[in-house]
Structure 1
């Protein structure tokens, strides 16, 4: 793949690309950077923390879960409210962990990106991600119920943060992780049961939409110049990432805390029609973005269909 004419300096295994041209090469990226500056918000003053966060007693009677309930499910009807509470705590905890991964990955993009426009927007995104970590850390602390990072999410973040090729850091973080997060935040906003998390997800989703647009602008042009070998490597990365991200929603950690047989619960999450639709909804933005950067070939599409992540396909 062609690289921009930049100087590269390595120190202790780290890579940084110096760019000595400071003019604007991509007006679209610079405009996105300007919008990002104008849209900054403060986690301390722009969230009405006094409104109070959710508690088990405030859980609504209607289901907040993308999961079927009833006799066929592994959770007894009497424990459904408790399960909704645990799912909410799990989901917001994963948001928090994912935002830390985005903070680390995007900070690497500032050093790795091949042009100044990309570096400047990446720098503005670092500020966004730090704010997201701040706001979700405070929310989870007030919630008083948290979960460790999901193993599949951890593996995905480890892979992205350790990647040496800047475009794959973009692909993994901006297209896959941020695309999934954007869909999740928007859904969380529509079904929020307390005003604090509703405010948080609305503001964070606004930021994430810019981040996904950033990834598309950065990759669309250069991915048209990939060699067949380079394209195959990136398609393989996408398929592994899709597998990891879909595994997040087996909910093993929640089943374990609820004293439900973990394998039984995971199988139910994989087969439940509502959960299948939920996963497909979560991947809609990713699928669209992969098409825009030219990575949605027959092999990738077949892999996503096998994982039941395409909205036009039935589960297998």
Structure 2
């Protein structure tokens, strides 16, 4: 793999302008055709849910009923805070994706990858715009989760373009895609339902972009390069699973944070929830050849592995 240190500031000019990957170019064309407008394509007046909409909160995901630190009379409050926390983290993650894909335009070694990354920058700007507006409507935002912040800091400062792509398109976007789809199925207000439906379509293309861009080059990694990327995946999985200990929510609900985090770590329903969130990541890692025995063992240790997908 080419040494990115040979390119000042990580920037790569490409002086050959012919198509190099028909699949990436086709994905770029689909992305252009699928652009939507956050201002006009979402009915912002349709109504945003409130804590009083107890009957519309849907199932108690991800809260189990046995030994829960949240008493029955506060389950609606938990669901409201969980929804507010999730959508706030969507917003923060989308800003990370905006910065990371902007870097990919600069760092990518071929024109088709630059083209698609540029189109994705527009997607991510639109996502930040839309989620910022939604969180403002909720009136109940959360700061960025520390584990997510650390992950985003790592991705946007990484000097190797393929690890920027791996961290954002496979890990962060894969997790977001699963979360968006879950949020859409259990949405209790029409605004977030419309928003997540539109964003999920974009994210599916983004994950596909990561798979197309990485699958072939990762088949040519040296053993040292592959080991470095395996370690990156392990650290990313640890950080992304930690965010679902929900420490900020327990604090907001005046639940002892250590008790709440321990419950989130051990409760079977919470474990199933995290496994569901990581399903797309695990499948994508298998497709790019990074679901190695070491990575698989690490995911099993973190209780993130549901089934082992076929390559």
TM superposition score normalised by structure 1 = 0.94
SS in structure 1 of the partner of residue 12 of structure 2:
strand
Match of 2:114 among 119, 139, 150: 119
SS in structure 1 of the partner of residue 10 of structure 2:
strand
Residues 260/2 of structure 1: CA separation in 2 closer, same or farther (3 Å cut): same
* Aligned residue number for residue 142 of structure 1: 137
* Aligned residue number for residue 195 of structure 1: 190
Confirm or deny: 8 A CA contact 1:255 1:261 kept in the other structure. yes
Residues 278/7 of structure 1: CA separation in 2 closer, same or farther (3 Å cut): closer
Measure, in 2, the Cα distance between the counterparts of 1:61 and 1:51: 15
Stretch of structure 1 that moved more, 48-57 or 134-143? 48-57
* Aligned residue number for residue 209 of structure 1: 204
Measure, in 2, the Cα distance between the counterparts of 1:269 and 1:67: 9
SS in structure 2 of the partner of residue 56 of structure 1:
coil
Confirm or deny: 8 A CA contact 1:24 1:30 kept in the other structure. yes
Q: Does 1:47 align with 2:42?
A: yes
SS in structure 1 of the partner of residue 40 of structure 2:
coil
Residues 7/275 of structure 1: CA separation in 2 closer, same or farther (3 Å cut): closer
Q: Does 1:252 align with 2:251?
A: no
* Aligned residue number for residue 133 of structure 1: 128
Measure, in 2, the Cα distance between the counterparts of 1:73 and 1:255: 11
* Aligned residue number for residue 263 of structure 1: 258
Match of 1:91 among 62, 86, 91: 86
Q: Does 1:66 align with 2:66?
A: no
Match of 2:281 among 286, 299, 303: 286
Confirm or deny: 8 A CA contact 1:96 1:136 kept in the other structure. yes
1:2-39 deviation per Cα after TM superposition (whole angstroms, max 9, x unaligned): 47xx99652xxx32100001110000000000000000
Q: Does 1:28 align with 2:27?
A: no
* Aligned residue number for residue 222 of structure 1: 217
Q: Does 1:38 align with 2:33?
A: yes
* Aligned residue number for residue 296 of structure 2: 301
Deviation at 1:242, TM superposition (A): 0.3
Deviation at 1:57, TM superposition (A): 1.3
Residues 16/63 of structure 1: CA separation in 2 closer, same or farther (3 Å cut): same
1:96-140 deviation per Cα after TM superposition (whole angstroms, max 9, x unaligned): 000000000000000000000000000000000000000000000
Deviation at 1:271, TM superposition (A): 1.2
* Aligned residue number for residue 100 of structure 1: 95
Alignment coverage as a number of residue pairs? 308
Confirm or deny: 8 A CA contact 1:2 1:222 kept in the other structure. no
Measure, in 2, the Cα distance between the counterparts of 1:66 and 1:254: 14
Residues 223/312 of structure 1: CA separation in 2 closer, same or farther (3 Å cut): closer
Deviation at 1:278, TM superposition (A): 0.9
Structure 2 alignment gaps of length 5 or more: none
1:256-293 deviation per Cα after TM superposition (whole angstroms, max 9, x unaligned): 01000001000111111111111111111111111111
Deviation at 1:194, TM superposition (A): 0.2
Residues 154/168 of structure 1: CA separation in 2 closer, same or farther (3 Å cut): same
Residues 69/276 of structure 1: CA separation in 2 closer, same or farther (3 Å cut): closer
Measure, in 1, the Cα distance between the counterparts of 2:217 and 2:7: 22
SS in structure 2 of the partner of residue 17 of structure 1:
coil
SS in structure 2 of the partner of residue 100 of structure 1:
helix
Structure 1 alignment gaps of length 5 or more: none
Measure, in 2, the Cα distance between the counterparts of 1:174 and 1:70: 35
